[in-house]
Chain A
Amino acid sequence: MAIAEAEGPRAGLAVVEGLEPELDSYHYLHATRAELLRRLRRIDDARAAYERALALARSERERRFLLGRLAELS
């Protein structure tokens, strides 16, 4: 996210996607990806990433947050 803030979402996304094979089961990775895709207006991809994060999220609070983001996208 820091890289996305400094260099733009595309640069951030490149880093995140490089980590994906290694951290595929990590919900924050997918939440990050979703956020960056949303900023890039790749709405369908963002939705898929939010759904993946949602499936992996463990706390209710995080789930509510991700559901909120999903609702905003549609």
Chain B
Amino acid sequence: MGFLGDFELAEEAAQDAFAIAAERWARAGMPANQRAWLVATARNRAIDRIRRERTLTAKYKLLEAPKAVHDEFHDADFRDERLELIFTCCHPALATDAQVALTLRALGGMNTDEIARAFLVPEKTMAQRLVRAKRKIKDAGIPFRIPPAHLLPDRLVAVLAIVYLIFNEGYDGRSPLLASEAIRVGVALAELMPDEPEVLGLLALMLLHDARREARVHDGELVLLADQDRSLWDRSQIAAGRAALARGMPCAALGGRAHTSCRQRSPPCTPRSRPTGRRSRRSTAICRV
């Protein structure tokens, strides 16, 4: 996508690459570095498509790119572009519903039908929303990049808001899949921005909330935290949430939004001291069960 600057073309090329892999790997065996093989193949397929579909002059620059698939691949040759991808998906020029849909499609690993069902809209509507969003990225020239330092804090807040929005959609039990998808994106973000306290704070928040999912409902009725059967809490997920929190704490100079909310939310499964540290005025002290 970074190479092509075109979401739709990148997706089509990736599909081509998987189709070729399915056929060729079965016949000739798996290459040593499958990821690099797929990326290189997708890239070549994209170039083929561009060659076929557009005039050479319009896309001359793209044709200067490497033309042949190398026999040996090294992962380092193909940078992980997921961070650029999420910042593009959550660009403020896109409508919120488009940001949500794109993020789920590109990073959450959900297909269009699943996203449509999660948001209770017909698949066709969601497909159109995605097509329009991708077109907008192309037409508006939304750059495929991690925002420059002076824009990064605001843009990161916007990304985290989208992830949290997705989580919330799943939280009340209507689409539990969305909560897991949001966590998955959160884990990826924490991997890609390991020193960002807000990212770790949000991840911890989601893990800790989600750990109580099973205990939150009994016989179809909501059960508040104080009345929950704690044996139903997911201990390993609570541990993961606490670990994310502990990792984020030293980075959190002032304690941002997700962080503070999360510190308040760590389940009292061990004797708990009061949250310490400066509390952000904007922290969301929300009533959750």
B264 near A65 with CB under 8 A, answer no
> What is the size, in residues, of chain A's interface with B at 8 Å between Cβ atoms?
24
Q: Which residues of B contact A23 (CB under 8 A)?
A: 284, 286
Q: Which residues of A contact B221 (CB under 8 A)?
A: 61, 64-65
A12 near B173 with CB under 8 A, answer no
User: Any chain A CB within 8 A of the CB of B281?
Assistant: yes
Q: Which residues of A contact B282 (CB under 8 A)?
A: 19, 22
Q: Which residues of B contact A31 (CB under 8 A)?
A: 287
Contact with B along A13-42 (1 / 0, CB 8 A): 001101100110010110111010000000
Residue among B217, B222, B265 facing the most chain A CB atoms (10 A cut-off): B222
A29 near B222 with CB under 8 A, answer no
B285 near A1 with CB under 8 A, answer yes
User: Any chain B CB within 8 A of the CB of A3?
Assistant: yes
Partner of A15, one of B173, B174, B285: B285
User: Any chain A CB within 8 A of the CB of B288?
Assistant: yes
Q: Identify which of residues 35-54 in chain A touch chain B, using a CB-to-CB cut-off of 8 Å.
A: 35
User: Any chain B CB within 8 A of the CB of A71?
Assistant: no
Q: Which residues of A contact B222 (CB under 8 A)?
A: 61-62, 64-65
Q: Which residues of A contact B265 (CB under 8 A)?
A: 2
User: Any chain A CB within 8 A of the CB of B97?
Assistant: no
User: Any chain A CB within 8 A of the CB of B61?
Assistant: no
Q: Identify which of residues 55-74 in chain A touch chain B, using a CB-to-CB cut-off of 8 Å.
A: 58-59, 61-62, 64-65
Give A residues with C-beta under 8 Å from B: 1-3, 6, 12, 15-16, 18-19, 22-23, 26, 28-29, 31-33, 35, 58-59, 61-62, 64-65
Give B residues with C-beta under 8 Å from A: 172-174, 217, 220-222, 225, 263-265, 274-275, 281-288
